[in-house]
Amino acid sequence: MRDVAIVAYIEGQNTAATSQTPVEMIVPVIHEILKRANVERSDIDFWCHGSCDYMTGQPFSFVSAVDALGAWPPIMESHVEMDGAWALYEAWVKIQTGEAETALVFGNGKSSAGDMNRALTLQLDPYVVAPLWPGFRALEAMGARAAIEAGTVTERQMAEVVSRSLRDASDNPNVLAYGYRDPDELLDEPMTANPLRAHDCPAMADGVSAMIMTTADRALEMCDRPAWIRGIDHRIDFQNLGLRDLGRSNSAALAAFHAGVTKDKVDVAELHATHSHHEVILAQSMGIDRSTTRMMPSGGALVANPLMAAGLARFGQAARQIFKGNADRAVAHAAQGACLQQNIVAVLEGN
């Protein structure tokens, strides 16, 4: 295995609704990330992008996204119809195979382009599930109830997750929801998709996240304290919700095991928990002790959820904790699909 590190991470400004096109959103972020790592376009030998056409409302939008990269002379580029975290995985594999030394990974989403709750129906089985148009919130809400009734998550835990996330978000200028809310006060709010309350669901955003990864030869030139990827794995569960125990995530558990999460203490975890109950389920499944690990110092995906960028943002935010010396060992996680169907987990270390 080659030693590969995240050396720079940038987020575009998260907004509730931008008038910019996806390309216009991406261009300044690419400039900024190159500047941050102090590299030229020509230093990047692999570009990898995560986004979803159904969300931008523009078929083949990933092709036009190349317009943002300055692909002249032609570049080595790839795209995943997934969150940018899976683009990171492809880039990591590309570097492991020796085909690339330095990769730029980015994810972008424009949640304001339409009703994403409804549009995400399209990630479900197209024969006997999607024709019912359940949307994704209904499924996450059913998952929450299954977890609550199984006793693996309590409504109070959910409120505590939200309270902490909003408080942490107050220190992060790039969020859409923040503030000081007592868990008791949150529990008094009405349910909007029983058993979920509005604050249990993510603040949808338009946004971009981008990072640069490189090998040991160059990492220290680009970053004082790179975040070394010591383990990474991704796993997927059945699509059929009826075959899964919604109170846990088997694929997150397996990915965490193979990434080596429990081999040592975890200082910080940035989990892609788009709904409050996810954090509790994920931590339990992955073997993370929430009482000793600093959970989502950025505020997490609850306070800013730019689709297809929010998962990569967890990797970037975890890496930032290493860059700043706040953590020696951090866990980054991203999820896709209904009720935590697919999970990617990495362990990042400062040494």
* Residue 191 or 216 having the CB closest to other proteins: 191
**Does 59 participate in binding other proteins (rule CB under 8 A)?**
yes
Question: Both tokens of residue 298?
Answer: 């950025």
Stretch that binds other proteins, among 83-91, 122-130, 173-181, 320-328 (CB under 8 A): 122-130
**Does 77 participate in binding other proteins (rule CB under 8 A)?**
no
Stretch that binds other proteins, among 129-137, 216-224, 256-264, 324-332 (CB under 8 A): 129-137
Considering only 10, 103, 139, 252, the residue that binds other proteins (CB under 8 A) is: 139
CB of 200 to other proteins, least distance (A): 11
**Does 196 participate in binding other proteins (rule CB under 8 A)?**
yes
CA 199 from centroid of its chain's CA atoms: 19
* Residue 204 or 266 having the CB closest to other proteins: 204
Say how far apart CA 316 and CA 212 lie, in whole Å: 10
User: Do 212 and 87 touch, CB atoms closer than 8 A?
Assistant: no
Question: Both tokens of residue 204?
Answer: 């949808």
**Does 153 participate in binding other proteins (rule CB under 8 A)?**
no
What is residue 347's three-state secondary structure? strand
* Residue 1 or 243 having the CB closest to other proteins: 243
Stretch that binds other proteins, among 24-32, 94-102, 286-294, 311-319 (CB under 8 A): 24-32
Angle 335-328-254 (CA atoms, 0-180°, nearest 5)?
35
Angle 61-65-70 (CA atoms, 0-180°, nearest 5)?
155
Say how far apart CA 282 and CA 251 lie, in whole Å: 10
Restricted to residues 25-44, the positions that interact with other proteins (CB under 8 A) are 27-28, 30-31, 41
Q: Concatenate the DSSP letters of all residues of 205-263 into one string.
A: EEEEEEEEEEEHHHHHHH-SS-EEEEEEEEEE--S-GGGS-TTS-HHHHHHHHHHTGGG
One symbol per residue from 83 to 112: x for binding other proteins (CB under 8 A), - otherwise; what is it?
A: -----------------------------x
Q: What is the dihedral of CA 249, 255, 258, 262, to 10 degrees?
A: -60
**Does 146 participate in binding other proteins (rule CB under 8 A)?**
yes
Residues near other proteins (CB under 8 A)? 18-21, 23-24, 27-28, 30-31, 41, 54, 57, 59, 64, 66-72, 112-115, 118-119, 122, 126-135, 137-139, 141-146, 149, 191-196, 238, 240-243, 246
